[in-house]
Amino acid sequence: MTYLSAIWDDLNLSARIGLGIVLFFTTCGIFAPWLAPYSESQIVGDVWEPLFGEFFFGTDQIGRDLLSRLIFGARNTMALAIVSTAVSFTAGAVLGFIAATMSGRVDQVLSRIVDVCISIPTLIASLIVLSAVGTATQTLILVIGIIYALPVFRIARAVAMDIEVMDYVEAARLRGEGLWWLMRKEILPNALTPLAAEFGVRFCFVFLLIASLSFLGLGLQPPLADWGAMVRGNADGIAWGFLHPIMPAACIALLTIGINLLIDRWVHKASGLRDDQ
C-alpha cells in the first residue's frame, strides 16, 4: 500500500487525471456485463432516440442502447489493443534482442528488412493486409501486432545495443552462456524499464490505428461493439444534427488523452529532461 501511495504522491495533477480516466475505462471494460443496462446486440428502442431521454445516451442507428454499447466497446476495443500491443512487443523485442546480441549478418538482414517494411505507412499496410486475410479477431491481433513489431524492433535493438557492450554481458559470453540466456537473463531485465515506458506510447498508437481501421470498416465484426465502428455506423446521423457518432469518438479521444497524460509524466521522468530552467 505504501508503494502505491508513493507512486500517487509522485504524480502531478495532470497525471492523476490521466490515471483516473484510465482506471474509469478499465473498470467499465472489466465489469461491462454488470454495468451495462442492456446487452450489446439487443435492440431496445427506435433509431437515434435522443440523448439523456429514456436511454442515457440515446440509441444507435438500429436502435441499440448507446450507453451499453459504449461500455461493451470499452471492453472489446481496449482488450484488442492491449493484446495487439503485447504481441508487437513480444515479437519486436525478441527479434530486436536477437539482432543486437548476434550482431553481424543477422543484424544486417533483420535491420534492412525492417527499413523497407517501415517505409509503408502503417494504415496503408494494415488496410491491404486486412482486406486480404479478413478481419477475424485473431487475424486482427496478429496483423496489427506484426505491423507494430517493426518500430518496437528498432527501439528494442537500440536499447539492447547499449546493454550488449556492458562488461557483465561480456562476462556471461565468456562463461559460455547461450543466446537465449544472454537475452533473457542479461539484457531483458535491464531493457525492461525503457521498454515499459514505450509500451504506453505504442499502446496509444495501436489504439488509434484500431479505431481508424474499424472506422474504415476493417475492424471487429458486428454485432460486437467497437468504438471506431460505432462512429462509422452512426456517422449519417450527424447530418440530421444527432451527436451520437461523437460519443464513441469522444471515448476514444478521452482514453488516449488519459494514457498520454499518465505516460507524459513517466517519460519525462525517465528521460531526465530538464524543463525548469
- The DSSP result for 62-111, as a single string, is TSBBHHHHHHHHHHHHHHHHHHHHHHHHHHHHHHHHHHHHH-HHHHHHHH
Query: What is the smallest separation between the CB atom of 83 and other proteins, expressed in angstroms?
Result: 20
User: How far is 32 from 40, CA to CA, in rounded Å?
Assistant: 10
Query: What is the smallest separation between the CB atom of 245 and other proteins, expressed in angstroms?
Result: 6
Query: What is the smallest separation between the CB atom of 155 and other proteins, expressed in angstroms?
Result: 17
User: How far is 204 from 220, CA to CA, in rounded Å?
Assistant: 18
End-to-end CA distance of the chain: 35
* 51 interacts with other proteins by CB under 8 A: no
Residue 255's CB: how many other CB atoms inside 10 A?
27
User: How far is 272 from 229, CA to CA, in rounded Å?
Assistant: 40
User: How far is 198 from 263, CA to CA, in rounded Å?
Assistant: 9
User: How far is 264 from 48, CA to CA, in rounded Å?
Assistant: 38
- Total of residues contacting other proteins (CB under 8 A): 49
User: How far is 248 from 209, CA to CA, in rounded Å?
Assistant: 15
User: How far is 46 from 181, CA to CA, in rounded Å?
Assistant: 61
* Residue whose C-alpha cell reads 504522491 in the numeric block: 9
* 249 interacts with other proteins by CB under 8 A: yes
* 81 interacts with other proteins by CB under 8 A: no
Query: What is the smallest separation between the CB atom of 263 and other proteins, expressed in angstroms?
Result: 11
Query: What is the smallest separation between the CB atom of 257 and other proteins, expressed in angstroms?
Result: 4
Given the complex with other proteins, which of 80 and 187 has the nearer CB atom?
Answer: 80
User: How far is 65 from 59, CA to CA, in rounded Å?
Assistant: 5
Given the complex with other proteins, which of 139 and 190 has the nearer CB atom?
Answer: 139
* 85 interacts with other proteins by CB under 8 A: no
Given the complex with other proteins, which of 161 and 257 has the nearer CB atom?
Answer: 257
Tell whether the torsion through CA atoms of 173, 175, 180 and 182 is positive or negative: negative
Q: List the interface residues with other proteins, window 168-227 (CB under 8 A).
A: 204, 208, 211-212, 215-218
Q: List the interface residues with other proteins, window 132-161 (CB under 8 A).
A: 132-133
Query: What is the smallest separation between the CB atom of 111 and other proteins, expressed in angstroms?
Result: 13
Given the complex with other proteins, which of 94 and 253 has the nearer CB atom?
Answer: 253
Given the complex with other proteins, which of 62 and 243 has the nearer CB atom?
Answer: 243
* Residue whose C-alpha cell reads 467497437 in the numeric block: 226
Given the complex with other proteins, which of 47 and 235 has the nearer CB atom?
Answer: 235
Among 76, 84, 88, 122, binds other proteins (CB under 8 A): 122
Given the complex with other proteins, which of 68 and 122 has the nearer CB atom?
Answer: 122
- Which residues of this protein are in contact with other proteins, per CB under 8 A? 14, 115-117, 119-125, 127-129, 131-133, 204, 208, 211-212, 215-218, 228, 231, 235, 238-239, 241, 243, 245-246, 249-250, 252-253, 256-257, 259-261, 264, 273-277
